[in-house]
Amino acid sequence: MQESLFTNSPYIIALSIVALIIVCYFPIMLGQKTSVRQLPKSIHQLVIISIFWQASSLIGDIFFSGNEIVADTKAYTARQLIFGIAALGWIQLGNAIEHTAEISLNLKRKSIWKLMNMLGTLSVAISTYIFIADPTFIPQFNIFGYRPFADRPVFYLYMVLFCIFVIPNFIVTGYILLRNIMQSSDTALPHQVSIYMLCSFTFFSAIGLLFDFIIPIATKFNNYDQFLKWSQFISVFLAILSGQYFTSVSFKNKSTSWFLNKLKEKMTDGLLYYNYKGEIGLANSAALSILHTTQEVLYKKKITAIFPQITDPSREAVYNKIKIKINNEDHIFNASVFQIRQSLTTNYNVLFFSDVSNTLHFQQIIKTRDEQFREYQLDQIRYQERLNIWKKKVDESKSFLDTLISTLPFRFWYKNEQGVFMTQNQNDIKNRGNLLQTSEPDDKILPQELLARNEGEPQTFISYERIKNPSGNLFDDNVEILSQEEYNKAVREGKGKDILIFDNMFIPIIAPRKPYKIIGIKIDITKEKRLEKERDMLQEQKHIHSRLEELGTICGGFAHDYNNILGSQLGFCDLALEVLDKDSPAYMFIQEARKAASRGKVSLEELLNTLRGKTAATDVSTEFAPYMIIDDVVKKLWITLPPNVQVKADTLDKDIRIVGSAASLDRIISNLANNAIFAMKENGGTLTISLKREELKEALITPYAPQIEAGVYAKITVEDTGSGMDTATLERIFSPFFTTKAPGEGLGLGLSSALRLLKEGNAGYTVQTTLGEGTIFNLYWPIRNEKMEA
Amino acid sequence: MSTILIIDDDAQLNLMLKSAFELKGYTVDTACNGIQAKSLYQKSSYDVIITDIIMPEGDGFEVILDLRRMGMSDRTIAISGGGRTSAEDYLVTAQHFNVAAVFNKPLDLPLLRNKVDEIIKAHS
């Protein structure tokens, strides 16, 4: 009886068909996930082996099943060929699987396995040939009298081949996987896959061995009509497993897991992987930098040691704002605990945490910046307002300045550093035209101006200018500049009237660098200069006059005494001549004495007249403004004024000019004023001096004063609020106080001399007095030629 | 017998005038200032009073005004030699007080005598 190699069980045949379909579909299925071309040769080999095996086995099962096939028949030969073809497949299975594992794990292929594969193939071919050529050879094979293959030659021989060429590969593959599992980190995905792979691989291999070899031998081949049927089907699973394993492991750089790893490293939030015991296994770089530590320090550390707030590390939870001290710095974290199930039995925990203290810090900063920004905006508004106010003020002061400058009563201009006119007031434009934004030619610029502009020295000087053509314009080309000598000469020659005198100023506006901007001012001081000159002249006249008068006073006193002496001498001489006989010799002597006395009298009179004439000569023919004299008198009075007396001289007509002796007028007013002050010495009061023009239509007759003719007069009033005078006193005021007042007391000759002076000046006076109220003296000084200066 | 009072601070002039009028047969008193004169003309009456104007105590104006109050202006003759100003000033003032006559110093004796005679004749 021949041994059966193929079963005719319809279940097995159906199962084979399904397995064939699956194994044919498998490459298409893999190709959907990855490109088929990317799969290694060994996988293709595995698939081809499986297809080969399933197909040949199916043919065998259909056509060559049962144990009725007799040796040396065509059916036997075909059956053995089919079986050999199937054996060519499975003999390479172990090699293909091991090859796949090596490629998946990037191991180097050892050439011994190639040799073993070739030997296995060869062995199958030879054994097949032997079975066909001599079917009895194997069963008859004798080793020391023992025939190991006699019972079931095909089964045992091929079992030996299987053990030699397939089992070692399986063992090595298991070893490779185990080694890989031991070496790699347990959180890595390949690690897990390798474990599954190993388990499945071992399981399937064990089933194959169990049902294909151990059970048939153990049951003594009870109804066993097949060979390696289990392994045939298991090869399908192994092919699929190997392919799956390869894709899972070898494409790791392009896989989700790779992407996740990259993502973990790019994250700014921290990730901590830890196992169910809470021991940290892995941390991403962000976690390390946040916690200021290294992977080595963290490894196997308890998660609760770092985050004490996490009470149960294996429970999924969210923790907000937990405070952790790192390097003595307070940090605030938001942390979440996730559980990641990696496989059915394994999972690990991930702590996902972010340092929100920075976030809070930045939020605070943003808030502060926001507030600052608002503050700045407010500030800007305030500054704008302030700016507006200042602008308004500046505008106001500018218009004020413009108005002021344009209406200044003298010429004003302003030039920049280059000498260009920037400002001119109306007075200046009237004099030289509008020169704004232009500069003057160099020959017209005065050296003083250059000094002020270039050296910064303020310049002040007086210039004399003659207007060439009085009817022409006032421009500079109609003006001749004179030196002071030329001016003095012109004044001496009486040609000074058309010469104008100016006070010139060039004021530099000092700036850090030369040259400077300058302000020019030109003030017409002709009138002031003339008045000053007139005042000086009057002063000089008064001085000469007072000297002469002093001399006259001395001589007058002397003459008065001497006149009396001469008078007595002449009188006595006359009396002597009366009583003497004409023939007496003494008569002639007395006559001669009288002649001598007469001569003395004449010469004395000549002296007196000369003195008086001189004094008078200095008085006459001066034309002057009396208000100046009054001013002078008031000034003098102030020096000796008693504190209880006030002097007022407010109403003085400055246009009135009179001809006469300024010195006399000074004396008269001084005397009147001194008397008035004397009268107010006890009780105090006010002295008022006024000057005005008055026209008398008819002669003015008043008591105590000579008549004043009709005419035009300068009326000078000297009024006091003193004690006034009774009639007796009024009568007496005209007597010379010479005898009662000591000379030099300031009252001089009193009103008596004033009277004479008034007479000389052809002036009149009136006096009104009321006891207890005061006295008013009015002097009437004729204005002889009113139109003289009008 | 007519009486004359002569008032002048110059004793020599007093003596000269006293002599001149005594030669003509008048009774003459003299005073060297206004105060002395006042005691004299209050005590006895004079036909003519000749007074100087500028005197140290009791000047001529006082005398003239005093006499005017006594109604004796027309018996008064003022004389003056002038001082620091001309004599006319004082004499013009004196004329205001209605004296009978004014004379400049140095005096013209015959004219003065005539005037005195004239006044005495006018009152006799």
> Could you tell me the end-to-end alpha-carbon distance of chain A, in angstroms, rounded to an integer?
180
User: Which of A564, A732, A752 is opposite residue B10, by nearest beta carbon?
Assistant: A564
Of A206-210, A224-228, A777-781, least confident by mean pLDDT is: A224-228
Residue type, B84: R
Query: Per-residue pLDDT for A787 more than 60?
Result: no
CB contact under 8 A, A736 and B65: no
Chain A hits for B83, CB-CB cut-off 8 Å, are: 556-557, 560, 736, 738
CB contact under 8 A, B20 and A560: no
Residue A717 — very low, low, confident or very high, per pLDDT cuts 50/70/90? Answer: very high
Pairing of strands B3-7, B27-31: parallel
Q: What is the mean pLDDT of residues A775-786?
A: 80
Q: Does residue A231 belong to any structural domain of this protein?
A: yes
Q: Which residue has the tokens 């976690």?
A: A287
Give me the CATH number covering residue B32: 3.40.50.2300
Q: For residues A381 and A203, what is the distance between their CA atoms, to the nearest angstrom? A: 85
Residue type, B124: S
Q: Does residue A668 belong to any structural domain of this protein?
A: yes
Q: For residues A307 and A300, what is the distance between their CA atoms, to the nearest angstrom? A: 14
Number of other residues whose CB lies within 10 A of the CB of residue B18: 17
Q: Which residue has the tokens 């004023």?
A: A673
* Secondary structure in 3-state letters for A331-358: EEEEEEEEEEECCCCCEEEEEEEEEHHH
CB contact under 8 A, B106 and A749: no
Average pLDDT, chain A: 83
Q: What is the mean pLDDT of residues A602-610?
A: 78
Same domain for A513 and A538, yes or no, is: no
pLDDT: is A561 or B66 the higher one? Answer: B66
Query: Per-residue pLDDT for A262 more than 90?
Result: no
Q: What is the mean pLDDT of residues A398-426?
A: 89
Q: Does residue A373 belong to any structural domain of this protein?
A: no
Q: For residues B26 and A233, what is the distance between their CA atoms, to the nearest angstrom? A: 207
Residue A250 — very low, low, confident or very high, per pLDDT cuts 50/70/90? Answer: low
Chain B hits for A579, CB-CB cut-off 8 Å, are: 23
Helix (H, G, I), strand (E, B) or coil at A176: helix
Query: Per-residue pLDDT for A377 more than 90?
Result: yes
What pLDDT shows up at residue A18?
92
**Does B107 contact A at CB distance below 8 Å?**
yes
Same domain for A108 and A241, yes or no, is: yes
Q: Does residue A743 belong to any structural domain of this protein?
A: yes
Residue A472 — very low, low, confident or very high, per pLDDT cuts 50/70/90? Answer: low
Q: DSSP letter string over A433-488?
A: ---TT-B--GGGS-HHHHHHHHH---EEEEEEEEES-TTS--SGGGEEEE-HHHHH
CB contact under 8 A, A568 and B57: no
- Tens digits of residue pLDDT in A538-582: 888 778 877 877 777 777 777 777 877 888 888 889 888 888 888
**Does B117 contact A at CB distance below 8 Å?**
no
Residue A399 — very low, low, confident or very high, per pLDDT cuts 50/70/90? Answer: very high
Residue of B nearest to A615 (CA): B85
- Tens digits of residue pLDDT in A437-454: 888 888 888 888 888 898
Same domain for A610 and A754, yes or no, is: no
Q: Does residue A392 belong to any structural domain of this protein?
A: no
Pick the residue of A739, A749, A751, A760 with the most B CBs within 10 A to test the interface with B by mutation.
Answer: A739
Count how many pairs of residues, chain A against chain B, have C-beta atoms within 8 Å. 107
Q: What share of chain A is helix, strand, coil (3-state, %, to 5)?
A: 55, 15, 25
* Stretch 588-617 of chain A: residues touching chain B, C-beta under 8 Å: 601, 612
List the one residue out of A167, A81, A53, A158 whose CA is nearest residue A116: A167
Chain A hits for B56, CB-CB cut-off 8 Å, are: 739
Query: Per-residue pLDDT for A536 more than 80?
Result: yes
What pLDDT shows up at residue A125?
92
User: Which range of residues forms the domain containing residue B43?
Assistant: 3-123
Residue A32 — very low, low, confident or very high, per pLDDT cuts 50/70/90? Answer: low
Q: Does residue A102 belong to any structural domain of this protein?
A: yes
Q: Identify the domain boundary among A524, A551, A579.
A: A524
Q: How many domains does chain A have?
A: 5
Give me the CATH number covering residue A277: 3.30.450.20
Q: Which of A149-163, A365-379, A729-743 has the highest mean pLDDT?
A: A365-379
What pLDDT shows up at residue A391?
94
The minimum CA-CA distance between B113 and chain A, rounded to whole Å, is 12
CB contact under 8 A, B54 and A739: yes
What pLDDT shows up at residue A621?
58
Same domain for A476 and A580, yes or no, is: no
Residue A188 class from Cβ within 10 Å (0-12 exposed, 13-18 middle, 19+ buried)? middle
CB contact under 8 A, B106 and A734: no
Q: Identify the domain boundary among A524, A550, A578.
A: A524
Same domain for A183 and A40, yes or no, is: yes
**Does B61 contact A at CB distance below 8 Å?**
yes
Q: Identify the domain boundary among A588, A618, A648.
A: A618
Chain B hits for A580, CB-CB cut-off 8 Å, are: none
Q: Does residue A68 belong to any structural domain of this protein?
A: yes
- Whether the CB-CB separation of A508 and A517 falls below 8 Å is answered with yes
Same domain for A544 and A495, yes or no, is: no
Q: Does residue A403 belong to any structural domain of this protein?
A: no
CA Rg value for chain B: 13
User: Which range of residues forms the domain containing residue A466?
Assistant: 408-524
What distances in angstroms separate CA A15 from CA A227, A236, B67, one per listed residue?
Answer: 15, 12, 192
- Tens digits of residue pLDDT in A181-201: 887 765 555 677 788 888 998
Q: Which of A380-394, A496-510, A598-612 has the highest mean pLDDT?
A: A380-394
CB contact under 8 A, B13 and A571: yes
List the one residue out of A263, A276, A266 whose CA is nearest residue A339: A276
Residue environment code for A379-401, b if the CB has 16+ CB neighbours within 10 A, otherwise e: eeeeeeeeeeeeeeeeeeeeeee
Query: Per-residue pLDDT for A328 more than 70?
Result: yes
List the one residue out of A774, A776, A778 whose CA is nearest residue A764: A778
Q: How many domains does chain B have?
A: 1
What pLDDT shows up at residue A383?
94
